A and B are shown apart, each in its own frame.
Chain A
């Protein structure tokens, strides 16, 4: 199993795109911080800082593409045979891919957090105290920053668990990545729209799209009235769906003929 994980990491580290995406996240984060400093009169920079200058959105797109590709490209390159004819089960092959994508996402988030933190000292408009209260919440700015980052990470994995489930069906990396990213944009739009449906039918509050509102809810004190879920319920719901989707992906991948 450790060997499979090493193999996956070997492939990831030898892929130029891996480093390109890391640099892209840093540039996007710094670029947004620079823009927020440029338009400091019209933006509340602490809000943008807490939101990591929108980098979680970019990382989600990167991770959807990487996740879709990690399975579909094995079919495209005919290398799935090489993986499953080793001494490991198909389930172990897929779990090694989960762990690799988890590692990559943790690294991307760490780079994002580090860059956001450095931005705090780079731009004059970011000279607010992180120990001050975050407007509209009882929490401090640094607490909201870390909590919303963690929530973003979790909802990203809710999406990735679906991508892992769907990617089993794709045969080309580019197709899988494109469908994943477009699907993500559509889902984001739908997640805002489902709030109306939740108002009408209470049971719909547990739909996965509603759970994508988790990071926003942490910094918007009135949002639970719209989503009909507490922060704890959001956490449990996200975790539950991640496990269900990953489990289903494991089941289907385990039955796959090559």
Chain B
């Protein structure tokens, strides 16, 4: 694709006799955040390692239109990454670690300052990395991936070990960089975080892409519910069922909203029968629900 920063075609990888990736194909469009989702051992990290040429593979990986190979990957100049645990020199300070890999241009100090401020590690930047907590190391690893302002950033479980404040800071930084045109490929098990930032989604199961779609489509496909709080739950369930609505849970009372269902009519049906309603809220299916549904479907197919 013309606007594709990363293109993966027929990616296959085996460790010895164990096939871990089977004909994986997907693209990352410029300025998009792509979520790579899969269960443990599905092959997410191996895909990232193949793209970064850390492992040998069969297939074609193209970055900014240039094909990259195991020992020929000049295009990786434009890629920042954090795969598995952050790689840091413990005897160096955080700043020295950043200086080591930051391009030695006139803006080096400014870039280091900017990324460390965004990730809130400025105050510890001059301490030796061996004194850092797990979360701080993770933040510094992310800072290393971003410090050269690459056009493609690959992050494997970036929220791992981060507190809610740091997670929020990272989310804001990703959104800011994305707005500036940076493409992100992010794997994460924290699906609600991924749902907030990813525009495209690649679902992997047992080394195969089982779904390649946009987040908007995922959420549109999901089910919507009306959750009603009342002290007369049993009565309300009977009334709604007689009226033809689909009640899927009793405690709390949850009604599945189908295309023809109108919320006002559901509520009127209840109030007409003197049901006292304490609270009403909408509940939408999320990425987690979609992901689990996809896996269930796969299992059912293989059963």
Q: Do A and B originate from a single complex?
A: yes
A residues with CB within 8 A of B: 3, 6-7, 10-11, 14-16, 77-82, 84-87, 89-91, 254, 257-258
A84 touches B53 (CB 8 A): yes
Find the B residue at minimum CB distance from A84.
Answer: B54
| Cβ B73 vs Cβ A87 within 8 A | yes
Stretch at the interface among B85-93, B188-196, B294-302: B85-93
Residue interface mask B251-274, A partner, CB < 8 A = 1: 000000000000000000000000
Contact present for B88 and A81 (CB under 8 Å): no
Q: How far is the CB of B253 from chain A (nearest CB, A)?
A: 51
**Chain A residue, CB-CB nearest to B57:** A257
Of the A-B pairs whose beta carbons lie under 8 Å apart in the complex, a sample of 24, sorted by A's number, is A3-B104, A11-B92, A14-B91, A14-B96, A77-B87, A77-B89, A78-B88, A81-B81, A81-B84, A82-B101, A85-B53, A85-B79, A86-B76, A86-B77, A87-B74, A87-B75, A87-B77, A89-B71, A89-B72, A257-B54, A257-B56, A258-B49, A258-B54, A258-B55
Question: Which one, A14, A89, A91, contacts B92 given CB within 8 A?
Answer: A14
Q: Is B100 an interface residue (CB 8 A)?
A: yes
Given contacts A79-B89, A89-B72, 19 further A-B contacts (CB under 8 A): A10-B100, A11-B89, A11-B92, A14-B96, A16-B91, A77-B87, A78-B84, A78-B85, A78-B86, A79-B88, A81-B54, A82-B144, A85-B76, A86-B76, A87-B75, A89-B71, A90-B71, A91-B71, A257-B55
**B83: CB under 8 A from chain A?**
yes
B186 interfacial by beta-carbon distance below 8 Å: no
Residues in B lying within 8 Å of A, measured CB to CB:
49, 52-56, 71-77, 79, 81, 83-92, 96, 99-101, 104, 144
A6 to chain B minimum Cβ distance, whole angstroms, is 8
For residue B28, give the distance in angstroms from its CB to the closest CB of chain A: 17
- Alpha-carbon distance between A79 and B144 when the two chains are bound, in angstroms: 11
Instruction: Please give, as numbers and ranges, the residues of chain B lying within 8 Å of A16 by CB-CB distance.
Output: 91
- Assess whether A77 is in contact with B83, with CB atoms less than 8 Å apart: no
Closest to A75 in B: B87
Picked from A10, A80, A254, the residue with its CB within 8 Å of the CB of B71 is A254
CB contacts (< 8 Å) of A7 on chain B: these are 100-101
Task: Give the secondary structure class of A's interface.
Answer: helix
Bound state CA distance, A254 and B104, in angstroms? 27
Cα of A14 to Cα of B84 in the assembled complex, Å: 26
Across the interface, which residues of A come within 8 angstroms of B76, CB to CB?
85-87
Q: Which of B81, B86, B89 has the most CB of A within 10 A?
A: B89
Chain B residues with CB under 8 A of A14? 91-92, 96
Most chain B beta-carbon neighbours within 10 Å: one of A78, A82, A91: A82
A91 — which chain B residues lie within 8 A by C-beta? 71
- Bound-state CA distance A54–B120 (Å) is 52
CB distance from B20 to the nearest CB of A (A): 12
Smallest Cβ-Cβ distance to A15: which chain B residue: B91
Closest beta carbon of chain A to B84's beta carbon, Å:
7
**Nearest Cβ distance between residue A106 and chain B, in whole angstroms?**
23
In whole Å, how far is B68's beta carbon from the nearest beta carbon of chain A? 10
Q: Which of B75, B87, B104 interacts with A80 by CB under 8 Å?
A: B87
Task: Given A14-B96, A16-B91, A91-B71, verify A85-B54 contact (CB < 8 Å).
Answer: yes
Return A20 CB to nearest CB of chain B, in Å. Answer: 12
In the complex, the chain B residue whose C-beta lies closest to that of A89 is B71
A82-B87 contact in complex given A87-B76, A257-B54, A257-B55, C-beta closer than 8 Å = yes
Measured between beta carbons, the chain A residues less than 8 angstroms from B89 are 11, 77, 79
Residues on A with C-beta less than 8 A from B86 are 78
Alpha-carbon gap, A80 to B85, bound state (A): 12
Residue of A nearest to B92 (CB): A14
Residues of A within 8 A of B54 (CB): 81, 84-85, 257-258
Distance in angstroms between the alpha carbons of A87 and B63 in the assembled complex: 12
CA distance A80 to B52 in the complex (A): 12
Chain B CB within 10 A, most for which of A3, A6, A11, A87: A87
Cross-interface CB contact of B88 among A77, A85, A90, cutoff 8 Å? A77
Evaluate contact between A81 and B83: CB separation under 8 angstroms: yes
* B100 pairs with A11, CB closer than 8 A: yes
**Complexed CA–CA distance, A254 and B89 (Å):** 23
Q: Smallest distance from the beta carbon of A160 to chain B beta carbons, Å?
A: 22
With A77-B89, A257-B55, A258-B49 as contacts: A85 and B81 at CB distance below 8 Å: yes
Which residue of A is nearest B83, CB measured?
A: A81
Of chain A, the residue at the smallest CB distance from B85 is A78
Contacts of A86 in B (CB 8 A): 76-77, 101
Cα of A257 to Cα of B99 in the assembled complex, Å: 26
CB-CB under 8 A from B84, the residues of chain A are 78, 81
Give the distance to chain A from B120, nearest Cβ to Cβ, in Å: 22
Enumerate chain B residues within 8 angstroms of A82, measured Cβ to Cβ: 87, 101, 144
